[in-house]
Amino acid sequence: MRSIRLIGLTVMMIGLGIGFRANGQPGYATLDLPGATLYDINASEIAASPTYRNNVNTRAVRHFSQNFSDVTDERWYYTKKMIVAMFACNGVNYRVDYDKKGRLIETLRSYDETRLSADLKHAVKDAYVDYDILLVQEVEQPLHALVYVINLEGKTKLIDLQVCNGVLFEWRKFDRSK
């Protein structure tokens, strides 16, 4: 009887150990997430499919109205994978992506170097001295850390950085055309 209890207790402890084990996470997040993201569609696909707010999934409209109540001039678009709302507010261009069921996929904010936080700007300028910041994009996804995509321009190279949780990651690098 005692050995059965001991075996049962051991099995239970192993089960709890497996259930509560910690999963390691990288120090940065990449945009290689499932579903549609910023780089899955192109601008021509969005521009070719405008629609009105009345034709959009009510769940998406409700979320949009709750989170962007000051906006009245948004433009809505359908693509094969998602519903997109685009607008500008205070010098920042927004793109809010929803899936076909109206669930938020991501919010993208695009702006120039002047709106970038001083500490992040300083970190990028220190690491990439000979480069100019062309564009900053904030990618905010539910249950993920905020990711900055920073487009840099140098004399011979173009670099796309991803910055997440203070870690700079050189995501893409291109040679400039001559």
pLDDT at 51: 86
CA–CA separation, 56 and 97 (whole Å): 12
Beta bridge partners of 178: none
Per-residue confidence (pLDDT) for residue 81, from 0 to 100: 86
- What is the domain partition of the chain in residue ranges? 43-175
Contact present, 169 and 161 (Cβ < 8 Å): yes
- Is residue 64 within 8 A of residue 73, CB to CB? The reply is no
pLDDT at 18 (0 to 100)? 35
Contacts of 75 (CB under 8 A, 6+ apart): 50, 85, 86, 87
Place of tokens 């920073």: 150
The model carries a pTM of: 0.73
Fold category of 43-175 in CATH = Nuclear Transport Factor 2; Chain: A, (3.10.450)
Q: Going residue by residue through the chain (178 aa), what tens digit of pLDDT does each one get?
A: 444 444 443 434 434 333 333 333 344 344 443 344 454 555 666 666 788 888 899 999 999 999 999 998 999 999 888 999 999 999 999 999 999 999 999 999 999 999 999 999 999 999 999 999 999 999 999 999 999 999 999 999 999 999 999 899 999 999 988 7
